[in-house]
Amino acid sequence: TGSTQDEAYKDAQANMKNLQTILITGSLPYKLNIVKLDTIAPNLGNSFTYILLFAGVAAIVIVAVIIFIRYRKIKASLALLFTSFAEILLILGFAALIRWNLDLPSIAGILATIGTGVDSQIVILDEAERGKSRSLKESIQRALFIILSAWATSLASLVPLYWAGAGLFKGFMITSIVGITAGVFISRPAFAEMIRKIES
């Protein structure tokens, strides 16, 4: 980083020399075995981010189309799309609030959150469909209980990632936890309410 290109170049060189010294002197608290050396051009970072974000949007749209084919309800499909995009905005808003830089693991966490969000929304839709035998309110409450149980399980499995891989998975863990928590307590109940209004 730097206010000019020259300053940024000097900063990058200083960081490189510092890391080089640490690696050569063996100052890391771990024993390193070099398995493979790769060179990745720095301009590929932008394309990776674009491709991952495009994959996320494409996944949401494809799932919405499949939901429409399965349930034949355009309003439910649109509600699913809206809720998924709202969850992404919640995650990005939180990341901006805590000034978290989104790296590739963080973006992968957002994609994983989209997947769990869609799963939860399908549970709500299925329970609403089965609501013929019991009241719609009872069906949606049952769905939200299932989602809350899944959230607790996911949380328990994600927290250890904070220390795994020397913190390499920290971005994945933070975005995933923020996403599923915001989903369970904000967007999934909102989606359930939308479905309740659509059904009634």
Q: Quick one: pLDDT at residue 105? A: 77
Grade residue 167 by pLDDT with cuts at 50, 70 and 90: low
Grade residue 34 by pLDDT with cuts at 50, 70 and 90: confident
Higher pLDDT, 166 or 45: 45
Burial 3-20 (b: 16+ CB within 10 A, else e): eeeeeeeeeeeeeeeeee
- Per the prediction, the chain carries an average pLDDT of 80
**What are the φ/ψ torsions at residue 27 (nearest 5 degrees)?**
-75, -10
**What are the φ/ψ torsions at residue 36 (nearest 5 degrees)?**
-155, 145
Q: Quick one: pLDDT at residue 86? A: 87
DSSP-assigned letters across all residues of 9-29: HHHHHHHHHHHHHHHHHT-SS
Judged against a pLDDT cut of 80, whether residue 166 lies above it is answered with: no
Q: Quick one: pLDDT at residue 43? A: 64
The pTM (predicted TM-score) of the whole model is: 0.65
Judged against a pLDDT cut of 80, whether residue 18 lies above it is answered with: yes
Give the integer Cα–Cα distance in Å for 59 and 111: 9
Q: Quick one: pLDDT at residue 125? A: 82
DSSP-assigned letters across all residues of 57-95: HHHHHHHHHHHHHHH--HHHHHHHHHHHHHHHHHHHHHH
Higher pLDDT, 191 or 45: 191
Give the integer Cα–Cα distance in Å for 162 and 177: 11
Judged against a pLDDT cut of 60, whether residue 138 lies above it is answered with: yes
Helix (DSSP H) and strand (DSSP E) numbers for the chain: 7, 0
Grade residue 44 by pLDDT with cuts at 50, 70 and 90: low
Grade residue 179 by pLDDT with cuts at 50, 70 and 90: confident
Q: Quick one: pLDDT at residue 45? A: 63
Helix axes 170-182, 74-97, angle to 10 degrees: 130
Q: Quick one: pLDDT at residue 175? A: 83
Judged against a pLDDT cut of 60, whether residue 151 lies above it is answered with: yes
Report the range out of 64-68, 92-96, 102-106 with the highest average pLDDT: 92-96
